[in-house]
Amino acid sequence: MEQNRFWLVLSLGEEREYRGNQGYADELERLYRYDNFVPNHLQLSQGDLLIICDRKQVLGVSRIGRIEQTEASKTLQRCPKCNVATIKVRKRAQPAFRCREGHTFDTPVEERVPCTQYVAWFDGSFRPVPAGVPTAHVRRACPRRNGQLAMQEVAYSLLGDTAAPLIEPLAGLAASVVHEPLLVQDAAEEPYSLNDVDARERITRAIRARRGQASFRQKLRERFNDTCGITGCGLVDLLEAAHIAPYRGAKDNHPSNGLLLRADIHTLFDLDLLGIHPETLKVSIHPRGRGMGYDQYVGSSLRCDAALLSREALQRRWGRFQALLLSMD
Protein backbone atom coordinates (compact mmCIF):
# COMPACT_ATOMS: atom_id res chain seq x y z
CA MET A 1 0.00 0.00 0.00
CA GLU A 2 2.99 2.26 -0.51
CA GLN A 3 1.10 4.25 -3.15
CA ASN A 4 -1.55 5.28 -0.63
CA ARG A 5 -1.12 8.06 1.92
CA PHE A 6 -2.93 7.79 5.25
CA TRP A 7 -4.11 10.71 7.35
CA LEU A 8 -5.54 11.17 10.81
CA VAL A 9 -8.19 13.90 10.61
CA LEU A 10 -10.24 15.25 13.50
CA SER A 11 -14.00 15.63 13.23
CA LEU A 12 -14.88 17.46 16.44
CA GLY A 13 -18.27 19.10 15.95
CA GLU A 14 -19.43 20.80 19.18
CA GLU A 15 -16.57 19.33 21.23
CA ARG A 16 -13.90 21.62 19.78
CA GLU A 17 -11.69 22.79 22.61
CA TYR A 18 -10.10 25.82 20.99
CA ARG A 19 -12.35 28.48 19.51
CA GLY A 20 -10.01 30.80 17.64
CA ASN A 21 -11.98 30.08 14.48
CA GLN A 22 -15.58 29.04 13.96
CA GLY A 23 -14.72 25.46 13.08
CA TYR A 24 -15.41 23.28 10.10
CA ALA A 25 -18.81 21.74 9.65
CA ASP A 26 -18.53 18.18 8.36
CA GLU A 27 -20.96 15.35 7.73
CA LEU A 28 -19.27 12.26 8.98
CA GLU A 29 -20.29 9.68 6.40
CA ARG A 30 -20.15 11.82 3.24
CA LEU A 31 -17.41 14.43 3.37
CA TYR A 32 -14.72 16.22 5.33
CA ARG A 33 -14.35 20.01 5.35
CA TYR A 34 -11.23 22.04 6.06
CA ASP A 35 -9.62 25.27 4.93
CA ASN A 36 -6.25 26.82 4.17
CA PHE A 37 -5.72 27.68 7.85
CA VAL A 38 -5.24 23.96 8.61
CA PRO A 39 -1.62 22.78 8.55
CA ASN A 40 -1.14 20.12 5.82
CA HIS A 41 -4.24 21.28 3.93
CA LEU A 42 -2.35 21.19 0.60
CA GLN A 43 -1.07 17.66 1.24
CA LEU A 44 -4.41 15.85 0.93
CA SER A 45 -5.20 14.49 -2.52
CA GLN A 46 -7.62 12.20 -4.33
CA GLY A 47 -7.13 8.58 -3.33
CA ASP A 48 -5.69 9.35 0.12
CA LEU A 49 -7.17 7.39 3.02
CA LEU A 50 -8.57 9.14 6.08
CA ILE A 51 -8.80 7.83 9.63
CA ILE A 52 -11.59 10.03 11.02
CA CYS A 53 -11.48 10.61 14.76
CA ASP A 54 -13.07 12.67 17.47
CA ARG A 55 -10.99 13.67 20.47
CA LYS A 56 -11.31 10.23 22.08
CA GLN A 57 -11.72 7.50 19.47
CA VAL A 58 -11.77 6.57 15.80
CA LEU A 59 -15.18 7.04 14.16
CA GLY A 60 -14.47 5.51 10.76
CA VAL A 61 -12.20 5.36 7.74
CA SER A 62 -12.71 6.62 4.22
CA ARG A 63 -11.03 7.33 0.90
CA ILE A 64 -11.01 10.74 -0.76
CA GLY A 65 -12.88 10.46 -4.06
CA ARG A 66 -12.51 14.12 -5.06
CA ILE A 67 -11.68 17.50 -3.55
CA GLU A 68 -13.52 20.74 -4.27
CA GLN A 69 -12.41 24.22 -3.23
CA THR A 70 -14.21 27.54 -2.84
CA GLU A 71 -13.02 31.04 -2.02
CA ALA A 72 -14.93 32.29 1.02
CA SER A 73 -14.38 33.99 4.37
CA LYS A 74 -14.37 32.97 8.02
CA THR A 75 -14.45 34.58 11.44
CA LEU A 76 -11.33 34.46 13.59
CA GLN A 77 -11.54 35.15 17.30
CA ARG A 78 -8.44 36.59 18.96
CA CYS A 79 -7.25 37.50 22.41
CA PRO A 80 -7.79 41.26 22.92
CA LYS A 81 -4.52 41.47 24.88
CA CYS A 82 -1.99 39.66 22.68
CA ASN A 83 -3.97 39.03 19.45
CA VAL A 84 -3.26 35.28 19.45
CA ALA A 85 -6.01 33.16 17.83
CA THR A 86 -5.52 30.09 20.03
CA ILE A 87 -8.21 30.69 22.64
CA LYS A 88 -10.12 28.27 24.82
CA VAL A 89 -13.63 28.42 26.25
CA ARG A 90 -13.66 27.92 30.02
CA LYS A 91 -16.87 26.13 30.95
CA ARG A 92 -16.64 26.52 34.73
CA ALA A 93 -14.53 29.62 35.26
CA GLN A 94 -14.78 33.32 34.59
CA PRO A 95 -13.77 35.22 32.51
CA ALA A 96 -15.13 32.87 29.85
CA PHE A 97 -12.04 32.72 27.60
CA ARG A 98 -8.35 31.98 28.05
CA CYS A 99 -5.69 32.32 25.36
CA ARG A 100 -2.58 30.23 24.80
CA GLU A 101 -0.46 32.89 26.53
CA GLY A 102 -2.58 32.73 29.70
CA HIS A 103 -4.64 35.90 29.29
CA THR A 104 -8.29 35.67 30.36
CA PHE A 105 -11.15 37.75 28.97
CA ASP A 106 -14.92 37.79 28.45
CA THR A 107 -15.15 38.83 24.81
CA PRO A 108 -12.69 37.92 22.05
CA VAL A 109 -11.85 40.29 19.21
CA GLU A 110 -13.51 39.09 15.99
CA GLU A 111 -12.05 39.46 12.53
CA ARG A 112 -13.53 38.40 9.19
CA VAL A 113 -10.77 37.08 6.94
CA PRO A 114 -10.70 35.53 3.45
CA CYS A 115 -10.02 31.82 3.22
CA THR A 116 -10.06 28.89 0.82
CA GLN A 117 -12.54 26.20 1.85
CA TYR A 118 -12.05 22.59 0.80
CA VAL A 119 -14.48 19.67 0.72
CA ALA A 120 -13.06 16.14 0.49
CA TRP A 121 -15.90 13.95 -0.80
CA PHE A 122 -15.94 10.28 0.15
CA ASP A 123 -18.21 9.17 -2.72
CA GLY A 124 -19.68 6.31 -0.73
CA SER A 125 -16.41 4.88 0.62
CA PHE A 126 -16.95 5.63 4.34
CA ARG A 127 -16.55 2.62 6.65
CA PRO A 128 -17.42 2.66 10.37
CA VAL A 129 -15.02 0.74 12.59
CA PRO A 130 -15.53 -1.16 15.85
CA ALA A 131 -15.63 1.02 18.94
CA GLY A 132 -12.65 1.26 21.22
CA VAL A 133 -9.76 2.36 19.00
CA PRO A 134 -8.33 5.39 20.84
CA THR A 135 -7.37 8.45 18.83
CA ALA A 136 -4.17 8.60 20.89
CA HIS A 137 -3.07 5.23 19.50
CA VAL A 138 -3.46 6.44 15.93
CA ARG A 139 -1.47 9.57 16.79
CA ARG A 140 1.41 7.31 17.84
CA ALA A 141 1.60 6.14 14.23
CA CYS A 142 2.19 9.73 13.03
CA PRO A 143 5.93 10.14 12.32
CA ARG A 144 5.68 13.91 12.91
CA ARG A 145 3.24 13.69 15.78
CA ASN A 146 1.68 16.91 17.08
CA GLY A 147 -1.29 16.72 19.44
CA GLN A 148 -2.57 20.14 18.34
CA LEU A 149 -2.93 19.36 14.63
CA ALA A 150 -6.28 18.34 13.13
CA MET A 151 -4.63 16.71 10.11
CA GLN A 152 -1.52 14.52 10.33
CA GLU A 153 0.01 11.86 8.10
CA VAL A 154 -0.05 8.31 9.48
CA ALA A 155 2.54 5.61 8.80
CA TYR A 156 0.43 2.52 8.11
CA SER A 157 3.25 0.24 9.27
CA LEU A 158 3.26 1.91 12.70
CA LEU A 159 -0.38 1.15 13.54
CA GLY A 160 -0.11 -1.10 16.58
CA ASP A 161 -2.20 -3.94 17.98
CA THR A 162 -4.77 -1.60 19.52
CA ALA A 163 -5.43 -0.18 16.06
CA ALA A 164 -5.80 -3.65 14.53
CA PRO A 165 -9.56 -3.14 13.82
CA LEU A 166 -8.54 -0.43 11.32
CA ILE A 167 -6.31 -2.66 9.24
CA GLU A 168 -8.98 -4.59 7.34
CA PRO A 169 -11.16 -1.62 6.30
CA LEU A 170 -8.08 0.45 5.39
CA ALA A 171 -6.68 -2.38 3.33
CA GLY A 172 -10.00 -2.76 1.52
CA LEU A 173 -10.10 0.93 0.67
CA ALA A 174 -6.46 0.97 -0.41
CA ALA A 175 -7.07 -1.92 -2.79
CA SER A 176 -9.71 0.08 -4.68
CA VAL A 177 -7.80 2.23 -7.16
CA VAL A 178 -9.68 5.46 -7.89
CA HIS A 179 -9.89 6.38 -11.57
CA GLU A 180 -13.02 8.53 -11.32
CA PRO A 181 -15.48 9.58 -8.61
CA LEU A 182 -17.34 6.55 -7.28
CA LEU A 183 -21.11 6.34 -7.17
CA VAL A 184 -22.49 5.30 -3.81
CA GLN A 185 -23.81 2.01 -5.15
CA ASP A 186 -20.42 1.13 -6.68
CA ALA A 187 -18.20 1.97 -3.72
CA ALA A 188 -15.58 -0.37 -2.24
CA GLU A 189 -16.85 -3.89 -2.77
CA GLU A 190 -14.48 -5.79 -0.48
CA PRO A 191 -15.85 -9.15 0.76
CA TYR A 192 -18.53 -9.01 3.44
CA SER A 193 -17.20 -10.03 6.85
CA LEU A 194 -19.85 -11.13 9.35
CA ASN A 195 -19.39 -10.01 12.96
CA ASP A 196 -21.49 -8.86 15.91
CA VAL A 197 -20.08 -5.33 16.12
CA ASP A 198 -22.78 -2.66 15.93
CA ALA A 199 -21.19 0.66 14.94
CA ARG A 200 -24.50 2.43 14.29
CA GLU A 201 -24.99 3.96 17.73
CA ARG A 202 -21.59 5.63 17.75
CA ILE A 203 -22.01 6.99 14.22
CA THR A 204 -25.51 8.23 15.05
CA ARG A 205 -24.15 10.07 18.09
CA ALA A 206 -21.49 11.73 15.97
CA ILE A 207 -24.06 12.85 13.39
CA ARG A 208 -26.36 14.09 16.16
CA ALA A 209 -23.54 16.21 17.60
CA ARG A 210 -23.40 18.09 14.31
CA ARG A 211 -27.07 19.00 14.48
CA GLY A 212 -26.45 21.79 16.94
CA GLN A 213 -27.02 21.92 20.64
CA ALA A 214 -29.99 19.81 21.65
CA SER A 215 -32.00 22.54 23.35
CA PHE A 216 -31.55 24.93 20.42
CA ARG A 217 -32.72 22.30 17.94
CA GLN A 218 -35.70 21.38 20.12
CA LYS A 219 -36.82 25.00 20.26
CA LEU A 220 -36.62 25.25 16.48
CA ARG A 221 -38.54 22.00 16.04
CA GLU A 222 -41.37 23.42 18.13
CA ARG A 223 -41.15 26.85 16.51
CA PHE A 224 -41.32 25.52 12.95
CA ASN A 225 -43.51 22.47 13.57
CA ASP A 226 -40.86 19.92 12.55
CA THR A 227 -40.74 21.27 9.01
CA CYS A 228 -37.82 22.42 6.87
CA GLY A 229 -38.29 26.13 6.20
CA ILE A 230 -37.33 25.79 2.53
CA THR A 231 -38.24 22.31 1.26
CA GLY A 232 -41.17 21.54 3.55
CA CYS A 233 -39.51 18.23 4.47
CA GLY A 234 -41.08 16.80 7.62
CA LEU A 235 -38.72 13.86 8.21
CA VAL A 236 -37.26 14.82 11.59
CA ASP A 237 -34.19 12.60 11.15
CA LEU A 238 -33.04 14.89 8.31
CA LEU A 239 -33.75 18.22 9.99
CA GLU A 240 -30.93 20.27 11.50
CA ALA A 241 -30.71 23.45 13.55
CA ALA A 242 -29.13 26.17 11.40
CA HIS A 243 -27.82 29.44 12.80
CA ILE A 244 -28.58 32.51 10.67
CA ALA A 245 -25.75 34.53 12.22
CA PRO A 246 -22.83 32.11 12.80
CA TYR A 247 -22.58 30.56 16.25
CA ARG A 248 -20.09 32.41 18.43
CA GLY A 249 -21.42 31.58 21.86
CA ALA A 250 -24.58 30.75 23.81
CA LYS A 251 -26.14 34.12 22.94
CA ASP A 252 -26.45 32.97 19.31
CA ASN A 253 -28.69 30.04 20.29
CA HIS A 254 -31.68 32.41 20.38
CA PRO A 255 -34.64 30.95 18.44
CA SER A 256 -34.92 34.08 16.27
CA ASN A 257 -31.38 33.35 15.04
CA GLY A 258 -32.34 29.89 13.87
CA LEU A 259 -33.91 27.98 11.01
CA LEU A 260 -34.88 24.33 10.79
CA LEU A 261 -33.41 23.03 7.55
CA ARG A 262 -32.99 19.70 5.79
CA ALA A 263 -29.38 18.53 6.13
CA ASP A 264 -28.30 19.25 2.55
CA ILE A 265 -30.02 22.65 2.55
CA HIS A 266 -28.27 23.44 5.84
CA THR A 267 -24.93 22.64 4.20
CA LEU A 268 -25.67 24.98 1.27
CA PHE A 269 -26.68 27.71 3.73
CA ASP A 270 -23.53 27.24 5.82
CA LEU A 271 -21.39 27.56 2.69
CA ASP A 272 -23.29 30.71 1.62
CA LEU A 273 -24.36 28.89 -1.55
CA LEU A 274 -27.97 29.57 -0.56
CA GLY A 275 -29.18 33.02 0.42
CA ILE A 276 -32.39 34.35 1.98
CA HIS A 277 -33.43 37.90 1.18
CA PRO A 278 -33.98 39.74 4.50
CA GLU A 279 -37.02 41.69 3.23
CA THR A 280 -38.88 39.24 0.99
CA LEU A 281 -37.58 35.98 2.57
CA LYS A 282 -37.16 34.64 -0.97
CA VAL A 283 -34.50 32.01 -1.64
CA SER A 284 -31.55 32.47 -3.99
CA ILE A 285 -29.07 29.80 -5.06
CA HIS A 286 -25.44 30.54 -5.92
CA PRO A 287 -24.52 29.64 -9.53
CA ARG A 288 -22.37 26.78 -8.23
CA GLY A 289 -25.52 25.17 -6.84
CA ARG A 290 -27.57 25.53 -10.01
CA GLY A 291 -28.41 22.38 -11.94
CA MET A 292 -27.83 20.27 -8.83
CA GLY A 293 -31.47 19.67 -7.95
CA TYR A 294 -32.05 22.92 -6.06
CA ASP A 295 -33.33 25.18 -8.85
CA GLN A 296 -36.92 24.45 -7.79
CA TYR A 297 -36.38 26.50 -4.63
CA VAL A 298 -35.12 29.66 -6.38
CA GLY A 299 -37.61 32.46 -5.76
CA SER A 300 -39.62 30.47 -3.23
CA SER A 301 -40.36 32.04 0.14
CA LEU A 302 -39.47 30.72 3.57
CA ARG A 303 -42.31 28.69 5.08
CA CYS A 304 -42.55 30.78 8.23
CA ASP A 305 -43.65 34.14 9.58
CA ALA A 306 -41.00 36.85 9.15
CA ALA A 307 -41.72 37.98 12.71
CA LEU A 308 -40.11 34.77 13.98
CA LEU A 309 -36.72 35.69 12.54
CA SER A 310 -34.10 38.29 13.40
CA ARG A 311 -34.06 40.86 10.59
CA GLU A 312 -30.57 41.96 11.59
CA ALA A 313 -29.22 38.40 11.40
CA LEU A 314 -30.85 37.87 8.00
CA GLN A 315 -29.35 41.10 6.67
CA ARG A 316 -25.88 40.15 7.79
CA ARG A 317 -26.17 36.66 6.33
CA TRP A 318 -27.53 38.03 3.04
CA GLY A 319 -24.48 40.29 2.90
CA ARG A 320 -22.22 37.23 3.06
CA PHE A 321 -24.14 35.57 0.24
CA GLN A 322 -23.86 38.72 -1.89
CA ALA A 323 -20.13 38.99 -1.14
CA LEU A 324 -19.58 35.45 -2.40
CA LEU A 325 -21.49 36.29 -5.59
CA LEU A 326 -19.34 39.39 -6.15
CA SER A 327 -16.16 37.39 -5.64
CA MET A 328 -16.98 35.51 -8.85
CA ASP A 329 -16.72 38.69 -10.95
Q: Residues 304-328: what's their mean pLDDT?
A: 89
168 lies in the same domain as 226: no
**Percent of all residues in the chain with a pLDDT value above 90, rounded to a whole number:** 39
Domain boundary among the residues 198, 228, 263 is at 198
Domain boundary among the residues 198, 230, 251 is at 198
Q: Is 185 exposed, middle or buried (0-12, 13-18, 19+ CB in 10 A)?
A: exposed
Domain that holds residue 219: 211-326
Q: How does residue 258 score in pLDDT terms, banded at 50, 70 and 90?
A: very high
In this structure, of 166-170, 220-224, 253-257, 309-313, the range with the lowest mean pLDDT score is 166-170
Q: Is residue 203 a part of any domain in this protein? A: no
Alpha-carbon distance 51 to 62, whole Å?
7
Q: What is the pLDDT of residue 185?
A: 39
Q: Is residue 1 a part of any domain in this protein? A: no
155 lies in the same domain as 29: yes
103 lies in the same domain as 50: yes
Q: Is residue 204 a part of any domain in this protein? A: no
- When divided into structural domains, the chain yields a total of 2
Q: What is the pLDDT of residue 17?
A: 46
231 lies in the same domain as 155: no
Q: Is residue 101 a part of any domain in this protein? A: yes
pLDDT higher than 90, residue 299 = yes
Q: Residues 60-87: what's their mean pLDDT?
A: 89
CB contact at 8 A, 14 and 209:
yes
CB contact at 8 A, 281 and 301:
yes
Q: Residues 256-275: what's their mean pLDDT?
A: 92
Q: Is residue 266 a part of any domain in this protein? A: yes
Centre a 10 Å sphere on the Cβ of residue 227 and count the other Cβ atoms it contains. 18
Furthest C-alpha separation in the chain: 59
Q: Residues 117-126: what's their mean pLDDT?
A: 89
320 lies in the same domain as 216: yes
22 lies in the same domain as 139: yes
pLDDT higher than 70, residue 107 = yes
Of residues 95 and 201, more confidence is placed in 95
Alpha-carbon distance 63 to 122, whole Å?
6
pTM: 0.53
193 lies in the same domain as 158: yes
Q: Is residue 205 a part of any domain in this protein? A: no
Domain boundary among the residues 198, 222, 240 is at 198
160 lies in the same domain as 308: no
Alpha-carbon distance 103 to 186, whole Å?
52
Q: How does residue 82 score in pLDDT terms, banded at 50, 70 and 90?
A: very high
Q: How does residue 148 score in pLDDT terms, banded at 50, 70 and 90?
A: confident
45 lies in the same domain as 69: yes
Q: How does residue 191 score in pLDDT terms, banded at 50, 70 and 90?
A: low
Of residues 147 and 68, more confidence is placed in 68
166 lies in the same domain as 245: no
156 lies in the same domain as 218: no
Q: What is the pLDDT of residue 247?
A: 72
Q: Is residue 143 a part of any domain in this protein? A: yes
178 lies in the same domain as 231: no
pLDDT higher than 80, residue 212 = no
